[in-house]
Structure 1
């Protein structure tokens, strides 16, 4: 990922997140859910899958199984039938079934609000836990997916060789007033503007502070 040597300054990083905030004051994730349990399930299913694809599969699933008890009653086979359009659906169906049983047995059917407890559930890793803590419980966590990892490195905001390194760097560098929404802004920016193959730098709201070079030119006018 080509980048200038100097990372953005503290003032520039503040300007970057102020720009994100002005552009989209209340960013939202793009996964559909109806409660904390379905949020957790949706995030587990979203690993190596698109939010659009997950939403299509979970619409019917959540209509009949929006609690751990209902999901267990549906059974692993029933879950699998609903999510078979999603990548890795067999293993994901198993994890959803098992995490539903674990919630009933260990948490009185409630989704826990700590990373440690969440990461003990089948199919839940650090990124999934961070998403649930952020969206479901309003905690200022950073969930590093491929989009955010790319943006952190490409812009110079939070360079790192691993998702954890990028996450920890962001937690130190993002202004505290912006931490709650930071991961949404960066993920959406990577998904729609700072794309992997053809970043759309010509209408990027943070391009003046970004360390990525060369900038991508805009589309040519016809004629």
Structure 2
């Protein structure tokens, strides 16, 4: 199957069945989303959503965060992965937002990446979700699912390479949505260790299913029971 056909199947299915996907992080404004995305690095959205209400009640604006020290922030995020580093990042992020951006979250990837704790993935999430720009944030879910579906080649071995490949082939207007489609599919169906292929509606054109799952040998139950090496008692 040609790549263009795979992308057509991908966009056709998700635009039909999930036309308006959204991030699962809870937020009310760009500042709150930025804080949540920084906290979400190597952590689940569910855990972040449990932490942010109290954190943002204490530090509701960049000015409040700018006045805080990492020690002030740490107790609110102690259950998050890497809380010491993230407390430092949030304190520095608050100061920079207050001092250099007048308390506003920047709208460009370049400016966002100047903020402590903000890498390219986080910056792409912000410009995509907040500013609806055609940016593709590549996390572990996007990286895994795009390879399994055959949307990107095996030679795309870095997040940036995957990002460029996806942006090149997905219609610009759908890129912000495609980011969520890939994440949610990877989070709930195409999971890392045991993908739920039996429940997946994409197996008809999925490269992983065609090359791996469909070729797995099914051993008859009687053969297993008769095998002298069987551990079944």
TM-score, length basis structure 2: 0.86
**CA-atom RMSD, angstroms?**
1.5
Alignment-derived partner of residue 214 in structure 1: 212
Q: Work out the number of aligned pairs and report it.
A: 211
* 2:157 equivalent to 1:191: no
User: Do 2:6 and 2:150's aligned partners in 1 also have CA atoms closer than 8 Å?
Assistant: no
Any idea what SS the aligned residue of 2:67 has? helix
* Structure 2: distance between partners of 1:106 and 1:73: 15
With CA pairs under 8 Å and 6+ residues apart, which has the higher RCO, 1 or 2?
1
2:30 pairs with one of 27, 30, 36: 36
What is the aligned counterpart of 1:53 among 47, 50, 55?
47
Distance 1:87 1:180 in 2: 27
What is the distance in 2 between the residues matched to 1:54 and 1:187?
16
> Equivalent residue for 1:138?
132
Q: Is the 8 A contact 2:67 2:95 kept in 1?
A: no
Secondary structure, aligned partner of 2:21: coil
Out of 201, 205, 209, the position equivalent to 2:201 is 205
- Whether the 8 Å CA contact 1:148–1:186 is kept in 2: the answer is yes
Deviations 1:5-50 (A, max 9, x none): x6x4313311211101111111011111121111111101111111
Equivalent residue number for residue 167 of structure 1: 163
Task: Note if contact 2:3-2:150 (Cα within 8 Å) is conserved in structure 1.
Answer: no
Structure 2 segments unaligned to the other structure (5+ residues):
217-233
Distance 2:87 2:6 in 1: 44
Q: Which runs of 5+ in 1 are unaligned?
A: 1-5, 218-223
**Is the 1:13–1:173 contact (alpha carbons within 8 Å) kept by the matching residues of 2?**
yes
Q: Is the 8 A contact 1:35 1:66 kept in 2?
A: no
Corresponding residue for 1:9? Answer: 3
Q: How does 1:62-77 map to 2 (within 5 A)?
A: 62-77=56-71
Report which of the two structures shows the higher radius of gyration computed on alpha carbons.
2
Q: Distance in 1 between matches of 2:76 and 2:199?
A: 39
The corresponding residue for 1:220 is none
> 1:119-177 CA distances to partner (integer Å, 9 max, x unpaired)?
01111000000001111111111000001100111111023111110000000111334
The match for 1:91 is 85
1:82 to 70, 76, 79: 76
3-state DSSP of counterpart to 2:207 = coil
